[in-house]
Structure 1
Amino acid sequence: MDTPPYARIAGDIKRRVADGRLRPGDRVPSTRQLARDWGVALATAAKALAVLAQEGVVVAEPRVGTVVAERREGRAARRPEISGSEGTRERIVRAAIELADAEGLPDVTMRAIADRLGMATMSLYRHVGSKDDLILLMVDAAIEDFPLPAERPPGWWAAFETTARLQWAAYRAHPWMAGITSLFRPLPSAGLIKHTEWVMAALAGTHLDATTKMNLHILLYSHVQGIGANLELERRARAATGLTDEEWLSGQDDRMRAISQSGGYPAFTELMAELGDFDLDLDRLFEFGLGRLLDGFAKMIG
């Protein structure tokens, strides 16, 4: 069986640590850099770093990045406590993000985070009030990893593209984000509200009323979240079945063939024959949908 891309990336970094090309305290390539170097999705690169963190090969240091862990007697040494509540809270948040990236949000528990950091479970509550507070901090940190530009580009179209693509990159790197909030109960995240502010500033001066502006913002956000939700659903399905999406689809061939041969779905059967070997690429689907969505917005905004 082929080695998964994330495992190949993690293996390469471990070899570089073992042969001294990367020394304790050295920064390892960022998620973005790994994605570019290996030609993989941001989520794949993030998973590689999460696996390395679980194994104690690397640690995430606030305001520094991910670095090679100090090693002692053949094993990664526990990180010392960073003085100050803010520094410790940042470590807790980053450990929670690494855990969610690797295992999914349900596995993010205070006990699991404490074990990862070498802290007592109850001591975490001195820095994070509750699990809900922690999730909010995780979202803000994940969004801030893909910051909006200092200057908003001219025109609403470019501004909408910018916010959508940055949010998509965040969902790509952290698939668990898609399932933590709903339109009826929006998360009070300062990081996400920055994107709302960005959109509203881009629409300032248009003839649209406040309700229409909010509806456009919600539709744009829903496009990102809706496609992003499939990243986490696929991760869960793969973990539960041990099958890739291609392997699972292959197992449905007989059923799909029976449906097609029943004669009750001629349009569907014709479509499948024309498609042939269809490759569902979420990045392409995201871009296709974004373009069509903005085309529709343009008819309203003018």
Structure 2
Amino acid sequence: MSALAITSAAVALADRAGTEGLTMRRLAGELGVATAALYRYFDDREQLLVAMTDLVLAETPPPPPDLVGWRARIRYEAQQEWQIYRRHPWILTVLARLRPPLGPALFDTLDRTLSALDELDLSRTQLISAYLSYSALVQGLALVWTAERSDRIGGPESAAPTELAALVAARPALDKAFGPTGPRLDLDFDRLLTDAVDMLLEGVAVRHAGSTE
């Protein structure tokens, strides 16, 4: 047994059961070892989460060398982050907090995105603001996708109550977006991510009058 084997098994367990189902005892049971054996490699569950996060983020391939322009580079990072959330939904709850587990792979990801944004020669405050807006966008869509996926797993979509439909119909903008009279709403989250990131980057470019590539 090695730290890498334990971390890989922990990732597989979290993929199935989420972080709420990840306990040192359960992980030890799946590995067929005593719980105490895990503590020879990891001091606690938080240290294990750091290793798991780093292992998962390391799945992201480096940007192709011919990828140029700050927008293209950020679009690439957004797509890679999005795919990680789809493969490992549990990591969203680990990263979307004030103090996420810090490791080399996370630092690499952050540095690539910040370097792309900094092509606009932003101030420190502007750089952090632009990055947090971008990060909140990607993580927010991933959260909605995760909830949507969970709802669909739970069973067939139920019809909206008559009272709810009436409340929607009485509000023109709400009815236009979600009313039953329009075409069936089937959200393509991959397309949503692309469009949303493009809108955000357009806003950053306009505000800071930087590169338009």
Superposition pairs for residues 177-256 of structure 1, below 5 Å?
Answer: 177-182=91-96, 184-204=98-118, 206-234=120-148, 236-237=150-151, 242-243=154-155, 247-248=156-157, 250-256=158-164
After superposition, what is the alpha-carbon deviation per residue over 1:7-64, rounded to whole angstroms, capped at 9, x for unaligned?
A: xxxxxxxxxxxxxxxxxxxxxxxxxxxxxxxxxxxxxxxxxxxxxxxxxxxxxxxxxx
Partner of 1:158: 72
Q: Which has the larger radius of gyration?
A: 1
How many residues end up aligned between the 2 structures?
208
1:295 is aligned to 2:202: yes
Partner of 1:65: none
| Displacement after TM superposition at 1:109 (Å) | 0.7
| Displacement after TM superposition at 1:183 (Å) | 5.2
Q: Output the TM-score relative to the length of structure 1.
A: 0.62
Q: Whose helix fraction is larger, Structure 1's or Structure 2's?
A: 2
Partner of 1:134: 48
The structure showing larger relative contact order (alpha-carbon pairs under 8 Å, at least 6 residues apart) is: 2
Superposition pairs for residues 9-88 of structure 1, below 5 Å?
Answer: 81=1, 88=2
How far apart are the structure 1 equivalents of 2:26 and 2:149? 20
- What is the aligned-residue identity percentage? 29
Partner of 1:259: 167
| Displacement after TM superposition at 1:163 (Å) | 1.1
| Displacement after TM superposition at 1:253 (Å) | 4.2
Q: For 1:277, which of 160, 184, 188 is the aligned residue?
A: 184
| Displacement after TM superposition at 1:238 (Å) | 5.8
Contact 2:85 2:142 (C-alpha < 8 Å) held by counterparts: yes
Greater shift in the superposed pair: 265-274 or 105-114: 265-274
Q: 1:206 to 1:286 in 2, by over 3 A?
A: closer
Task: Let me know the Cα RMSD of the aligned residues.
Answer: 2.3
| Displacement after TM superposition at 1:162 (Å) | 1.3
Structure 1, unmatched stretches of 5+, are 1-80, 82-87
Partner of 1:119: 33
